[in-house]
Structures are given as structure tokens and as C-alpha cells.
Structure 1
Amino acid sequence: VLTEYARVIKKFIRDENLKEFDKTAIAHLLEIAAIFAGQKEKLTTRFSKIADLAREANFWANDDGFDIVTAAHVEKGYNNAINRHGMLESKISEMYDDGTYLLDTEGERVGQINGLAVYSADFYSFGRPTRITSTVSLGSGNIINVEREAGMSGRHYNKGVLIISGYFKETFGQDIPLAFNANLVFEQSYGTVDGDSASCAEIFALLSTLSGLPIKQSLAVTGSLNQKGDVQPIGGVNEKIEGFFELCKTKGLNGNQGVVIPIQNVKELMLKEKIVNAVAEKKFHIYSISRLEDGIEILTGVKAGKKTVDGYEKDTVFDLVERKLKDMYAKSRAIKDEDEKPKKKKTKAK
């Protein structure tokens, strides 16, 4: 496939009467084709974008006085194209930098987590983190999707929230009814939210709220989830990692920051060299998970906990959650019993 794709590029170069492209230039065009496709093992069929890059690389080779186009010219053309189409990304970055968008990259918070989202521009896609929070109260086991209630969510996102509800009912609702209501919110989100890649982040935030255990704000999370607690792959993994890395770099890398991604997405990683170097130097971290339990342990530093005949292992995340749910159920029953007591009739004095 690579050979055939390279032949297509070579034919275009001849037809356009461009300068000769050396092997490094062709290889870099193939790499960018994989970036546009979003997968390491696939290449984009949007040949017009590759053709535009080849033309621009040819221009920069001319401008620099070279007779042969090299990878450096392709990279220069690619970066300039991103800069021309990068107004949306630069505006969003400015709002993070000046504090308009609230997001932490250090410390710990209960019920708050950094999710990862992808924004699509006309030429390319880019990722940025977003704050997700959860709150709980006494109730009847409903998980309220605020985006849905506000008419700002798509079908796939709504499905993801329902899956979270199913997981909670199977994991914690076998012995007692779930007597809580939960609110999940994408903070400072004013557009439509869709996709289920925030399912893991949302359930981690909810587990944190119920257990009282804080989540490390130095980490960001992406991943889909099924009702059995298995983590599922998502799209745009490279853009999401790069987006959080850029924010952490701006605020200052402290060696604790990183991302949590599905293990199935590891094979798709095509990260920029500066991120690869930061990971190698342990200034930034990439954690891959296959189960929900793996993620909550990384985020809280506390063991998730296994089910025993007497409940979950003591002082684990799931044990703390179960204890909170039992306490909320007891309070709910007490209120219900109080309301059901027959009220004494008041007698008027004659």
C-alpha cells in the first residue's frame, strides 16, 4: 500500500512539473497522510490535501534555493498550513492561557476530572481538555445528563450516560436500591456534545464524588465504557494527547502530568517528537487501561477493590462507594418512614 501511495504522489509531482522530491519528503507526506487518516496503519484518501502540501513544499524549496524538495520543506509547508487554518485553536488556547477556561493541571479535587475533546477545523483536527464535574444527592438512582436536559447533547453521548447508569445498577445495586441522584456536567461547554469517549471520565468523577476520594488533576482521561466495566477504544487519540500536553507545557511540566487512554488505542499513537521525548524523559506519562478498575486506581492512588462474601475489600474505592450508598439508602428510608407515619389530628378546644 505504501508503495502504491508513493507512486500516486510521484505521478502527481510529474504532472504538476514540481521539483524532485527525495525519499525523506515522500516518507513525510506518507506520515502526514496517516495523521489525516487518524490511524497509524491507514492513509487518507483525501488526495487533494496531500497535493496541496506537495505544492506548498515545492514553493518553500524554491524559496530556500533548493533543487530537491526534502522532509524539512514538507514539514514547513504543513506547519504553515496549520497556522493559516488555526484561528479556532489559537482562540481556544488563549482562553485557557488567560484563565477564561478553568482547568487544573496539578493538585487534587473530589468529583472533578479532566476529559479530552476533539475540535474539527476545516484543514485539521485538534484536541483540548475540558473540565467534567459530578454532584450527588438523595434520590432514586437517576443519573442526570445536564447536556441532554439543556438540549446540548447528541445520541451517542446520551447512550454513554445510560451505560454508566447500567454499570452502577449491576455493580452496586444488587443488594440495595440506589438511593441517589447524580448530575454530570461538561463545564463551560456551550456547543453540542456528542460521542461516548467521555464515559470513562464521567464514571471516574462519579466514583470520586461517592467515595470522597480526590482525583489527580495532573491527569486527563479519554475512553468509552461498556456496562461490564470494560474500556473501549475511541477516536482522535493523538489529537487529545497533544492537546493536553500543550496545555501542560504552557503551564509548566512537573513530571506528574499525563493522560489515561484505552489500551486498544496504543497501536494508533503517532505523537509529535517533543511528546515522545517528554515521555522518554518521564516529564509526561501515557497510561493505557483495559478495565475501569485500572483507571480509578491510577487517578486516586487507591485500590479499586474486589468483591467478597462480606462486600468489597475494606477501604478500597468500591468499599467507600458502597458504604456511601448504604448510608444514603438508610437516610432515604428514614425520611420515607417519617413521611408515612400517621399524623395526629389536632383537636380544637371547646
Structure 2
Amino acid sequence: MALRKVLADELLLPFYYEKGTEQVVPAELFPGQDRVERAFDLALSTSYEGYNVFVSGPESIGRTLYTLRKLRSASEGKPPPEDICYVNNFENPLRPLYLLLPAGYGKKLAQDIDRAIETLKEDLPKAFESKEYEEEVARINKTADAQRERILQELTQEAQKHSLGVVFTPAGIRLLPLMGRRLVSEEELIGNEKLQEVYEKNLSAFEEKFREFMRELRELDHSVADQVLELRRRVAYYVVEKVFSRFEGKYRNFNDARNFIEKLKEEIVKNTDLFMFWHTSKGNLAVMRSLERAFNAFRVNVLVDNSELKGLPVIHEEVPTLQNLFGRISYTVEMGVLQADHMSISAGSLHKARGGYLVLRAMDLLKNPYLWNAFKKVLMHKKIHMAGGIMEDSILPYVGISPEPVPADIKVFLIGDPFLYQILSLYDPEFNRLFKVKAEFDPVIELSEEFIENFPKMIKKVITDEGIKDISADGLLELLKYAITLSGSRKKVSLLMGYIVDAIREADVISKNSKNISAEHIKRAIREKIYRSNLIEEKIRKAIQEGKFLVEVKGKKIGQVNGLSVYELGDISFGKPSRISASVYIGEKGVINIEREVELSGPIHSKGVLILTGYMGNKYGKDFPIHLSCNITFEQSYEEVEGDSASAAELIAILSAISGVPARQDIAITGSVDQHGNIQPVGGIKEKVEGFYKTCKVIGLTGEQGVVLPSRNYDNLVLDDEVLENIKNGKFHLYTAETVDDVIEIIFGMPAERFHKLVIRKLQEFHKKITKPKEKG
């Protein structure tokens, strides 16, 4: 294909809609994402380690929406995972233990234990106040009293044999001397030294026997206390067994729960006094609150209750902080010390997602390196550790707990962009081992009949979810054109639905007094969006109009052409013509890139300029050496120049300067050149064409202006309606070129063969001048 003029009718999109969205059935569709479908199918069908998924794609393409929809569908009908509970570790309260129970049983166990505690608060005091208990205690004491009486009687008899009498005092048993049957008082004893001597002698003789009697009395007291304690234990155990027998049978098949209940009963029996104290403290709110905290030692903390789940859990953590992911331990102040127990533990997203799926944004994790490393450890070791002792910022002393880590079986879906995936793959040695599956969304797909048919369903889904009025048939067509425009090709369509949704929302605001949203509302919304962001573009156009930026769009100039640049400003990009000039003279320096010399040339631009040297040598230097020095630059350019899309324009400027043939200034050039003179496709075609059109418009349209572009960029001509209208009216023109020769014909207005001869003739003149022998003097 040689040089060809593009007609406006060729650029019109050949489709339309007959009706709007009123009768359309909404559908949530993700067309053209077979790669993502297959990646999800693999990840969801395997339980092998490391098959977590990195969902890659640009913002607003629907990564999170698709992921959640897919996971919810995959989780339906599957048995939910176990409930997660934490219980007191009676042997080491600072190390609470986890308890896993089938879904719904965690809440049942907690409720059963709570009811049992409330029942025991009444039943235990009643049991110890019962007639039977009091009679049994009285029997034990009566038997003990009889034994004590016997021992004391024997003690008295033995003491009398040693002339000693037994006296019972509040401080205990004392021995005093006997004189006959009379007991000598202490005052009398102190005043009679002879009596004291006899008394000491008798005491010494009776001391060992006295100790035996006292030991027997102590053993009797201990025996009575043990009997009473054993009685209390048996009574308490009977009451506890009776209360627990009402529900413990339902947990018989769950070993961990059964073992916990057995230990719990033992602990309640050991702490019967708590229930007695509760009974006697009724009405004292402060004491009762303190006792309630003590009763927490027996309770069950249901960390995750899956009783309402109909399938596997799908958790979307929108704010993945350390506490939101790993759970939280709440501390309370007791007597100036921060305290926590197993009831202070709250679940994190990792606990809630156990046995199912967790969805979160990769960038949110990576903002905190500690969080990222801790998160990876969960995936590697399959355990959820809670940082219970991190209280360094507290000014109060604290007692930290360290809960037993819960086993984790979680499939993670990280949402991120392709660049982030590359960075993690290259610089995180554990990433590829943990995320073996990449599900990458394609933001631009082929425009097919199927997509055109399904597009109204996708839009209907949006307006249904957003509560927006319906869109007319021409409005639908305008939205589709916008999606095609965003793709940058007339044969493709962009799936960045965020931009489409924004256009619909803003059009809805604009059309507040209309029944539905029309094409004009959509167009105005898009124009308003551009207007809000194109201040810099407008200022550049104004500077061109005022002559502060020198751009010529009329006439011809030697060694000067109009190239086209694209400015990327984040939310908007636009094209601007750049005056490229070249000057040539005899020398051996070749093509000198002035931008490179002053370090304003990017590597790709520098490469493009060096390729021009290759083209020049290949085209003109096969029969004689080229003696040429050429300076080439972007005039009034004060920032780095990057890219090779101006290399065709640069070559034309050089050839014009060599040949002396003036180049048209009303035709701008874009496209890169290879060493053989082929014009290669470049990016930003829409912006470049529209940028030159707007420049010509502010200076004045002549009807001759236009742009020559690579033929392989033909499909990228997705232009604004105003530009298309002026192309149709012959006020602006587009040309596609395959080779440098095609560009030469349009820019210089002569056959390429003839032009090349002019260049060769000039280069031969340079050669002769530099090789001409000097005349001898």
C-alpha cells in the first residue's frame, strides 16, 4: 500500500442500536477474559500448596467485582468450615487454647456453658444450704467431737500421773501443776521456786507424751477438714454433673470439646467458692461485676461463628491492617495493670476466611512491610499467630497473652496491577512460591458482534445498580464509541468500565430534566470531563495562537517540519505539534542530536536518531562516502524528548536541509523509521491528529492541512466528531504511508525518485569539495 488519503466515511463506526435500555435484561459480564477464567478454574480446583492467585489488571476493569462473583459462585453448596473458639487454658491462662467445632456448634457450646454457669449460680448455693448437706457436716463434726473428747480425756488422765492438770485457753491447751486435786495458779507457781522446779521436772517427763496427744488432735482436725472438703467436692461434682448432663451428650463425638468440658467441670468444682460468694454478694454491684469477670474463665469465646454460612466463606478485607487481618486482643485496666484473657480475643479476616477465600489489594499489604511478611508466614506455615504481647507503647504495666495459633487453610486472591506483579516476582523470593497462579485481565479486547450485542446488558446492569435512568439508543451508541475511543483502535474496545460508569453518572446529572439519557448528554459529560482537566492544553493552544510557541501550518520551509508529540498528564493526554529543524554542512560528524548533547534525549529517542544515520548510509552512501554534519533539534523544547515516533519527521527535515527542497508546513508527520525506510506504527495517533487539528484551527484552517501517519496505524484513527466532520468537508486531511518515499511525495510534492536524486547530487557536491586537491602555492 503506497501513500493513501483517508476518507471520512472510512472512519465512521458501522453499527447502531435500535432501542435503548428500557427493555434490556441486566447482566454482569466480563467478555474476552478466557485467560482469567482458566486461571480461576485451576486455582479453585486444586488444594495443592501455593496455588493462591494474583489477580492482575488495571484499575476499574472489574478485578474485585469479578473475583468476588467467581468465588461466591464457587463456594455455594460446599460445607462451611468449623467454628473457631478460644477457651481458657487452665494450666497456663496466658496461653489460651483454640477449639474447632463443626459450623454452628461453637455458638451452641458457648450458650450451653453460659446457661450452665447461670444455673450453677443458683444450684450450688442451694446444695450447700440443704438439710442433707448440713446433717452430713454435723455427723462429721459429731464423730470428730467424740474422738476429740476421748483424746482429751486420755490426755487429762496421763497428765495427772505426772501431777499436771490440763487447762483449755483461747491460745490452746496448757499444763499447770497439781497439788492433790487442786490446780495451782500461775501466780502461785511464779512465787514458789521449789514448786517451779518440780513443775519443770514433771513437764520434761511428760513432754513426749504430750506431743503425741497434740499431734493426734491436729490429725483429727485435718481429717475433719478433709472430710468436709471431700463432702463439698462430692456435692459440687454431683450438682455440676447434673447440670452438664443436660447438654454434654451432643459434643460426645468431638474429642476436643469433650476434653474441654471434662476439664471445665473439674475447674468449676475447684472454684465452688466463686458461686457461693456470688450468692452472698447479691446487691453489691461492684463485687458482682468483679465476679462476672472471674466467671469468664469458664466461658467460651466464639471467635468465628459459621452457623449462618451456606457455603465456604468469601471475605473481602478492604482495610488490611495488622489487627483487621490477624485479630485483636482488648486489654482492660485492673488495679493499674492492663489485663487480658481468652474472652478478650477478636477475630481477624484470616480467621473468618479460614477454610475459604480471602480477597484483598496487594498494595494495601505492601504499604506495611511488617504486615506483608507476617501475612506470607501465614501462607507458608498455615498458622494464624496473634501478636498478643505488642504493648510497647503502653505506659502501664501489662500482662500479655499469647493465644495458641489457629491452623489456617486459606486460598488468597491478591488484587494488583501488572507492574506490581513484575516487581514482586523479581524482588520477593517467596512471592512466586506462594502465588503460583496469575489471572491477568485484558483491558482491551476485539470488537465483535457478540460484544456489541451484550454491551446494552452490561450498561443496564450499571444503571440498575446505580439507580440511574435508562439510556436511549443513540446514547448507547455514544457510550460504545467512547469505549472504542478509550481502546485506541476502531477494531477494539476498552473494558475499563470505571470511565464508562463515570460518564453515565455525569450524564445522569446533566439530564436531570429529561426522561432518559441521550447521546447529547453523554457527549456533554465527556466534554465536561475533558474540560476539567485540559487547562494546560488550553494554555499551550493560547500560546501558539499568540505566537509564543512558534508553529507554522502554512507554506513551505527548508529543513523544517512539524512533528507531533503527546503529553501525558495522568488524567488526560493531548497532542501538540513540535517544530523540528535541521541544518547541514560539510563535515564528518554525521547526524548530531542536539537533545542528546545536552542530555535531554531519552534512550529510545537517541536510538531513533542513530537509525537515521543507518538509513542515510544505506540509501545514499553505497557509491561514495558521505561527508555530512547535521544538527537536528526540537525547537522550543525544554524537557526530555523520549520515543522514536518523530524519527520520520526528523528524517524529512534532514533530507529537506540537504536537498534544499522546502517541506510543507501544513502537513504534520508522525511515525518511526527503520534503516530500510519503512514507516513503523507509533502510539498516541488520536491525540496527535486531534492536537494538530486544534492547532490549525486556532491559527486558521486553510483546507490543505493534515497529518501523514503510518498505514499500520489506520485502525487507531478513532477521532472526535468535529475532526471527522472537517475531514468529510475537505478542511482537514489524513494520509497513510508505508515508506519514507510515500512521505516524501506528500511533503515535497514530487516523485520520490526525483527527490532522492537531488539529495544524492548535494551529497556528491559535499564529497567533491572535501576531496578536491588543494592548489600548490
TM-score normalized by structure 2?
0.41
For 1:127 and 1:18, locate their aligned partners in 2 and report how far apart those are by CA, in whole Å. 34
Contact kept, 8 Å, 1:88 with 1:121, in 2: the verdict is no
For 2:460 and 2:639, locate their aligned partners in 1 and report how far apart those are by CA, in whole Å. 42
Question: Aligned ranges for residues 170-209 of structure 1 at < 5 Å?
Answer: 170-209=618-657
Equivalent residue, structure 1, for 2:610: 162
The one of 258, 265, 290 equivalent to 2:738 is 290
Equivalent residue, structure 1, for 2:118: none
The one of 79, 84, 91 equivalent to 2:532 is 84
1:54 to 2:504 alignment: yes
Question: Aligned ranges for residues 108-123 of structure 1 at < 5 Å?
Answer: 108-123=556-571
Equivalent residue, structure 1, for 2:469: 19
Q: State the one-letter code of the partner of 2:458.
A: V
The one of 581, 598, 611 equivalent to 1:133 is 581
1:45 CA drift (Å): 3.2
The one of 764, 767, 773 equivalent to 1:326 is 764
1:274 CA drift (Å): 2.4
Structure 1, unpaired ranges of 5+ = 306-315, 345-350
Q: State the one-letter code of the partner of 2:681.
A: P
Change (3 A) 1:153 1:200: same
For 1:326 and 1:210, locate their aligned partners in 2 and report how far apart those are by CA, in whole Å. 11
Q: Which has the larger radius of gyration?
A: 2
Cα deviation 1:250-272 (Å, max 9, x = unaligned): 22211221111111122221222
1:43 to 2:493 alignment: yes
The one of 457, 479, 494 equivalent to 1:7 is 457
1:275 to 2:723 alignment: yes
The one of 478, 494, 504 equivalent to 1:28 is 478
For 1:247 and 1:50, locate their aligned partners in 2 and report how far apart those are by CA, in whole Å. 29
Equivalent position SS for 1:20: coil
Contact kept, 8 Å, 2:682 with 2:713, in 1: the verdict is yes
Cα deviation 1:48-77 (Å, max 9, x = unaligned): 222111110111111xx1121111111111
1:5 CA drift (Å): 4.3
Range with bigger deviation, 20-29 or 163-172:
20-29
Contact kept, 8 Å, 2:594 with 2:631, in 1: the verdict is yes
Change (3 A) 1:60 1:151: same
For 1:113 and 1:20, locate their aligned partners in 2 and report how far apart those are by CA, in whole Å. 49
Cα deviation 1:218-267 (Å, max 9, x = unaligned): 11111111111111111111211111111112222112211111111222
Equivalent position SS for 1:116: strand
For 2:642 and 2:487, locate their aligned partners in 1 and report how far apart those are by CA, in whole Å. 20
1:303 CA drift (Å): 1.7
Cα deviation 1:162-196 (Å, max 9, x = unaligned): 11110001111111111011111011111121111
For 2:458 and 2:632, locate their aligned partners in 1 and report how far apart those are by CA, in whole Å. 49
Equivalent residue, structure 1, for 2:595: 147
1:324 CA drift (Å): 1.1
Change (3 A) 1:255 1:20: same
Q: State the one-letter code of the partner of 2:530.
A: I
Q: State the one-letter code of the partner of 1:125.
A: S
For 1:173 and 1:186, locate their aligned partners in 2 and report how far apart those are by CA, in whole Å. 26
Equivalent position SS for 2:492: coil
Structure 2, unpaired ranges of 5+ = 1-450
1:141 CA drift (Å): 5.0
Contact kept, 8 Å, 1:152 with 1:192, in 2: the verdict is yes
Contact kept, 8 Å, 1:184 with 1:202, in 2: the verdict is yes
Q: State the one-letter code of the partner of 2:760.
A: E
1:4 CA drift (Å): 4.1
The one of 211, 215, 237 equivalent to 2:659 is 211
Q: State the one-letter code of the partner of 1:29.
A: L
1:27 CA drift (Å): 1.9
Equivalent residue, structure 2, for 1:317: 755
Equivalent residue, structure 2, for 1:258: 706
Structure 1 runs (4+) greater than 6 angstroms displaced: none
Change (3 A) 1:114 1:239: same
Equivalent position SS for 1:43: strand
1:69 to 2:517 alignment: yes
Equivalent position SS for 1:69: coil
1:100 CA drift (Å): 0.6
1:243 to 2:691 alignment: yes
Contact kept, 8 Å, 2:541 with 2:698, in 1: the verdict is no
Equivalent position SS for 1:33: helix
Aligned length: 327
For 2:462 and 2:598, locate their aligned partners in 1 and report how far apart those are by CA, in whole Å. 49
Cα deviation 1:289-340 (Å, max 9, x = unaligned): 11111111111112211xxxxxxxxxx2111111111111122224xx659x
Range with bigger deviation, 72-81 or 280-289:
280-289
For 2:728 and 2:499, locate their aligned partners in 1 and report how far apart those are by CA, in whole Å. 32
1:201 CA drift (Å): 0.5
Contact kept, 8 Å, 2:562 with 2:667, in 1: the verdict is yes
The one of 552, 577, 582 equivalent to 1:104 is 552
Contact kept, 8 Å, 1:241 with 1:259, in 2: the verdict is yes
1:29 CA drift (Å): 1.5
For 1:35 and 1:99, locate their aligned partners in 2 and report how far apart those are by CA, in whole Å. 32
Change (3 A) 1:235 1:6: farther
Contact kept, 8 Å, 1:141 with 1:177, in 2: the verdict is no
Contact kept, 8 Å, 1:255 with 1:283, in 2: the verdict is yes
Q: State the one-letter code of the partner of 1:23.
A: A
Contact kept, 8 Å, 1:297 with 1:304, in 2: the verdict is yes
For 1:46 and 1:194, locate their aligned partners in 2 and report how far apart those are by CA, in whole Å. 27
For 1:11 and 1:122, locate their aligned partners in 2 and report how far apart those are by CA, in whole Å. 29
Equivalent position SS for 1:271: coil
For 2:731 and 2:527, locate their aligned partners in 1 and report how far apart those are by CA, in whole Å. 25
Q: State the one-letter code of the partner of 1:321.
A: V
Cα deviation 1:84-124 (Å, max 9, x = unaligned): 01111111111101111001111111000011111123323
Equivalent position SS for 2:633: strand
Change (3 A) 1:212 1:190: same
For 1:338 and 1:324, locate their aligned partners in 2 and report how far apart those are by CA, in whole Å. 21
Equivalent position SS for 2:502: helix
TM-score normalized by structure 1?
0.89
Identity of aligned residues (%): 38
Contact kept, 8 Å, 1:260 with 1:286, in 2: the verdict is yes
